[in-house]
Structure 1
Amino acid sequence: MSSPQPQMPQAAPAWQAAPGSAPYSGGPGYTSPIPVVRTHLGNAIASEWTKIRSVRSTMWTLGVFVLLVVGIGLLTGIVVSSSSSDLSGENALSLGFFGLLLGSMCIITLGVLTTASEYGTGMIRTTTVACPSRGRVLAAKAVVFFLVAFVVTLVAASLVAFLHVAMLEGNGAKDPSGGEWMKATVGISLYIALLGLLSLLIGSIIRHSAGAITIMIGTVLAPLVIALFMFSESLQGVRDALFEYSIPSQLSVFYANSLNTASQSGPSGWDPLWIILGATAVAFAGAFALLEKRDV
């Protein structure tokens, strides 16, 4: 009986490159049908835009926001215009404050969900695989959310402002100046959008939706509640500071009758915008640093 012949090793498939060799290119003149391009911030922004407009939480939170701002604004205008209230010298735009204060809770919630929800579902792992640059992901989320929040707030605030000026003309309310229009529409919209952006960054830091929302709502309401229980005269300075620098008080500054009231203590004019901008910048730096250090 003859001994079995040794088997010859099979050649490696053409697509399998040997260790240390260049990847298979398909032979001379081969061009891959899949385009290979260098990704940039615009690609990340397009991805985040697809996310934010395709999830139901965006439509619900923004829908409730518009309903609160326009609904409460319209209701307030009807009540005041139908009463015998004399608004001589008063700014008709100031009635929009109430709806925006409540509506800001919706923007805060959406800001937190934009980042924290991805950690809860594990979607953040897919996001970082598609875009390994974590700083780029955070920047793209910030840009998309800020623009969405600003545009929606600007539309709602402007609509309420026009309604109030038209409805309260018979009650003696003065016509707003150009500066007052700017503050009550563009200024307040920038502030609300930055407040939502701050919530987004807190959500990135905390990585827990309920916890981050609780922190942000506490930031809005806690200073006023704490100040109400400071009865001691020795705490008067702290109490006044809590009142003046609380977020509701800063929102009301945008509806002041003048761009700068010298006799007013605390923030005035455009000061609240610079305050929230500084706080957001600090939070962004912290979120970016933690994002680079922690695992997803």
Structure 2
Amino acid sequence: MTTATMPARPVDATFAESAAPGFGAVLRAEWIKLFSVRSTWWTLGATVVLGAGLTVVLCAANAEWLASDTADEAPGSFITWGMMVAQICAVVIGALCVTNEYGTRMVQATFAAVPSRGRVMLAKSLLVSSLMFVVGTYTALLGYFGGNYFLDAQGIGLSFDGAVARSMYGSGLFLAGIALLGVAVGFLVRHTAGTITVVLAVILILGNMVMMVPGAFGEWLGKLMPGNAGQAISTPVPFTPDLLSAWPGFGVFAVEVAAVLAVAWVMLRRRDV
């Protein structure tokens, strides 16, 4: 008696390819996940309101003083002042893009659907950085046109060229970098409050504390801290003149963010989830 054997059915190559979604599909999925929660919209709204609104308020409140002989600050230091607060919102966006999934355990479904974890990380990073670049630039422009109205009234208006124009898209670049730092730390910490705390502590608290270290070492340490190095590109005239200039500072900042992203990528591949 012989047993009939069924011939092996060939695997459909089209089905095999569709089992692994392409990068475009992953990016669309991340877009849907990010914008399907209200916290994203609230945070983006806060970015625009705080970033542009505080710039206008500070320019309106200080325009007369800046035009006087007693002023010891330049108008350019105020024209993007609100972006220093908007960076907090960028941290939140970067963190939420990652840690929301860990909090709900949906990250397990994400990695099951997309086995290539690096592709997921790249999609989140590209989405968040592009979003914050656009929102950051738009916010800086709103603050400029609103704040410059009051500076113009005092005869100290800033023309839209040179360092002023650079600070507009520079604000977008800075917020994009801050959001990427939030993404990287989010993959490392995997907790929303912890991620936001760590990034804000490094950027706002530690960046100011190291300036109290005496000598040339403390001076350079302050210049190289991520928040201090990256911030110079977002303002025509920084409040602290001892920081690195715009593009060298942003270069240092970009290298630091890339280093943290690399560590996050390695840890993401080694962890179970």
For Structure 1 versus Structure 2, the TM-score category normalised by the shorter chain is 0.7 to 0.9
The counterpart of 1:292, out of the listed 248, 269, 272, is: 269
SS in structure 1 of the partner of residue 130 of structure 2? helix
Q: Which runs of 5+ in 1 are unaligned?
A: 1-17, 26-31, 259-263
Instruction: Give the direction of change, closer, same or farther, for the CA distance of 1:254–1:87 in structure 2 (3 Å limit).
Output: farther
In 2, Cα distance between the equivalents of 1:46 and 1:24?
28
Return closer, same or farther for 1:93/1:107 CA change in 2, 3 Å cut-off: same
Cα distance in structure 2, aligned partners of 1:245 and 1:150: 22
Structure 1 segment 1-296 matched on structure 2, within 5 A: 21-22=8-9, 36=18, 39-81=21-63, 83-86=64-67, 92-173=75-156, 175-176=158-159, 178-227=161-210, 230=213, 235-246=214-225, 247-248=227-228, 250-252=230-232, 254-257=234-237, 265-296=242-273
Instruction: Determine the C-alpha separation between the residues in 2 that align with 1:51 and 1:134.
Output: 16
Aligned-pair CA distance for 1:49:
0.7
User: Residues 19 and 179 from structure 1, CA distance in 2 versus in 1: closer, same or farther, beyond 3 angstroms?
Assistant: farther
Any conservation in 1 of the 2:174–2:230 contact (CA below 8 Å)? no
> CA contact under 8 A between 2:233 and 2:246: conserved in structure 1?
yes
CA positional deviation for 1:222: 2.5
The more displaced of 44-53 and 268-277 is 268-277
Taking structure 2 as the reference length, the TM-score comes to: 0.84
Q: Please say if residues 86 and 172 of structure 1, whose CA atoms lie closer than 8 Å, have aligned partners that are also in contact.
A: yes
Query: CA-atom RMSD, angstroms?
Result: 3.0
2:229–2:243 Cα contact (<8 Å) kept: no
Contact persistence 1:195–1:276 (CA under 8 A) = no
Q: Indicate the larger mover: 280-289 or 88-97.
A: 88-97
Structure 2 unaligned regions, length at least 5: none
Q: How many pairs are equivalent? A: 263
Bigger CA radius of gyration:
1
Q: Secondary structure at the match of 2:27?
A: helix
8 Å Cα contact 1:41-1:136 kept in structure 2: yes
| SS at 1:279 equivalent | helix
Is the contact made by 2:233 and 2:249 (CA closer than 8 Å) also made in structure 1? yes
1:228-247 per-residue CA deviation (whole Å, 9 max, x = no partner) reads: 654xxxx3223323443342
Residue 108 of structure 1 and its aligned partner are, at CA, apart by: 0.3
Deviation at 1:277, TM superposition (A): 1.1
TM-score by length of 1: 0.78
Q: 1:119 to 1:84 in 2, by over 3 A?
A: closer
Flag the 1:267–1:194 CA change in 2: closer, same or farther, 3 A. Answer: same
Label 1:156 to 1:289 Cα distance change in 2 as closer, same or farther (>3 A). same
Cα distance, 1:294 vs. partner? 0.8
1:37/1:77 Cα in 2 relative to 1: closer, same or farther (>3 Å)? same
Q: 1:139 to 1:59 in 2, by over 3 A?
A: same
Describe the shift of the 1:19–1:74 C-alpha distance in structure 2 as closer, same or farther (beyond 3 A). farther
Q: Alpha carbons of 1:253 and 1:243: their partners in 2 closer, same or farther (altered >3 Å)?
A: farther
* CA distance in structure 2 between the partners assigned to 1:183 and 1:37 by the alignment: 44
Kindly indicate whether the alpha-carbon contact (under 8 Å) linking 1:253 and 1:272 is maintained by their aligned counterparts in 2.
Answer: yes
Q: CA 1:97 to 1:133, structure 2 compared with 1: closer, same or farther past 3 Å?
A: same
One-letter identity of the residue aligned with 2:97: T
**Identical amino acids, percent of aligned pairs:** 27
SS in 2 for 1:96: coil
Tell me which amino acid in the other structure corresponds to 2:198: I
Matches of 1:77 and 1:199, distance apart in 2: 30
- CA distance in 2 between counterparts of 1:254 and 1:36 reads 43
The offset of 1:93, in angstroms, is 4.0
